[in-house]
Structure 1
């Protein structure tokens, strides 16, 4: 990662830049409504982190800290929407923003952090393992809302 890179929390004022970056995650995604953007950034327990090089947002992820009644009532974290601009990959930006999110989860008292991916590429899995995740620790199951 370059020395001029900085990570910070994103707010509603960063929504346009974040939505543009998300095109490198899910190209062609329909944009959310302004109301949805406001609701997401106002949601307690959900934080978005952005890594900037100069004024450009080049990597991001979000962290949801979820309350819990097991494990002594300690929260757990869920990292989602990990993305690095296609032109900036391979420079450590993605790892840096993930490591930042993990540090924030530990600071919030989480006992674990979970990350899931729909990517089937073993290189993506290896990337997450380099970030410290254990791909064999848990198994995730997904159900999607039916169309209609």
Structure 2
């Protein structure tokens, strides 16, 4: 898993993947680390968080984070399959929307997200690192 995360943030000095945290996420009914495997090789992953809100009745929303496809396997619809699984799951639990953030420098990723039906013009994302 660490190798995939390193492909997403190759120069990060603060990246720290802890197996116990991955296990804790797996046990949490509102958080998911989904993976794409082929012949035992981990080729992609995405994190999905389901969040409650008060604005749309009982309908939650999903947040997609850390969508990563192994750099040697990009262009093979792996990312598309991961996002389709996320969308199918979110529909099955009546989510109101799915949101994701992407680094402003990742133009190729933005094109992919737009092809998958996500709009980069609807909202403006903000982050504050602590």
Residue of structure 1 aligned with 2:40, choices 42, 55, 60? 55
Structure 1 residue 135, shift from structure 2 partner? 0.9
1:36/1:120 CA distance change after superposition, 3 Å: same
Q: Report the equivalent of 1:24.
A: 7
Q: Work out whether 1:122 is the aligned partner of 2:112.
A: no
Q: Report the equivalent of 2:22.
A: 37
- Give the aligned length: 128
Q: Report the equivalent of 2:84.
A: 99
Does the residue aligned with 1:97 lie in a helix, a strand or coil?
Answer: helix
Runs of 4+ in structure 1 off by over 6 angstroms are none
Task: Please say if residues 62 and 79 of structure 1, whose CA atoms lie closer than 8 Å, have aligned partners that are also in contact.
Answer: yes
TM-score, reference length from structure 2: 0.88
Does the residue aligned with 1:71 lie in a helix, a strand or coil?
Answer: coil
Structure 2 segments unaligned to the other structure (5+ residues): none
1:20/1:99 CA distance change after superposition, 3 Å: same
Task: Please say if residues 62 and 101 of structure 1, whose CA atoms lie closer than 8 Å, have aligned partners that are also in contact.
Answer: no
- More RCO (CA 8 Å, sep 6+): 1
Structure 1 residue 59, shift from structure 2 partner? 1.0
Over residues 23-47 of structure 1, what are the superposed CA-to-partner deviations in whole Å (9 max), with x where a residue is unaligned? 2112365433443333222222011
Q: Report the equivalent of 1:76.
A: 61
Q: Output the CA distance in 2 between the equivalents of 1:121 and 1:69.
A: 33
Does the residue aligned with 2:126 lie in a helix, a strand or coil?
Answer: coil
> Which sits farther off after the overlay, 24-33 or 90-99?
24-33
Task: Please say if residues 63 and 79 of structure 1, whose CA atoms lie closer than 8 Å, have aligned partners that are also in contact.
Answer: yes
TM-score, reference length from structure 1: 0.78
Q: Output the CA distance in 2 between the equivalents of 1:137 and 1:125.
A: 13
